[in-house]
Copies of this chain bind each other. A is one copy, B any other.
Amino acid sequence: MSQAVRRGPGRRPGTADTRAEILAAARAEFAANGFDGTTIRGVARVADVDPALIHHYFSTKHKLFIEAVGFPIDPTEVLPGLIAGAPPDAVERLLRYMFSVWEDPQGRERVLAMVKSAVTTEQVAGMLRDYVLAQVIVPMLVEAGLVKGDRAEAERRVGFALSQVLGMVVGRYVIRIESLAEADPEELIAEVAPTLRRYLSE
């Protein structure tokens, strides 16, 4: 609290640097306290900025997280629309959407940057693990009726599906295994969709 007193007129104004510092502070806070244990107020304290500035830049804690972890898209904006009503080709739709992000140069750059930091820094791995999986991906797939079982079983099933998705990203874009790197996305989707379907719901 003494820190809170110290702030006030001393707080730095918003600049491009400030934005980057907010993101660094957010990464540290999310990694240390998890998503639920992190507050915008707490991030503001670490970054030594006014909480209103964080709201101004990122609007919500969720958006702040998405930016801090380097997610190329906000999955909650796009995915529910793709899988609403659990159409029979929901898995293909999800994969097609993921490939559209990965095939876009900017999207790919962000995904690869995220994978590299997840592989090299435990902080990012932990953020992905705790939040993306437990708080976003699993509930979204459960709600859409795409994954079978109670919460524990759903997490187990989604874990397997994610292992295949992760392996596709690493195999095609990072190690660039020839047969994966040179294939048309539709060919890959046709092979991988049955795997994901089995993991999620069979």
Contact = CB atoms under 8 A, between A and B. Distances in A.
Interface of A: 115-116, 118-120, 125, 128-129, 133-134, 155-156, 158-160, 162-168, 170-172, 174-180, 183, 191-192, 194-195, 198-199
A162 B168 CA distance: 9
A177 B156 CA distance: 9
State the copy count for this chain: 2
Contact of A177 (B115, B133, B175, B179): B133
Nearest to A166: B167
8 contacts: A119-B119, A119-B174, A156-B183, A160-B192, A163-B170, A164-B164, A166-B167, A194-B198
Contact of A195 (B118, B125, B133, B195): B195
Contacts of A194: 198
Most chain B CB within a 10 A radius of its CB, from A168, A171, A175, A199 = A175
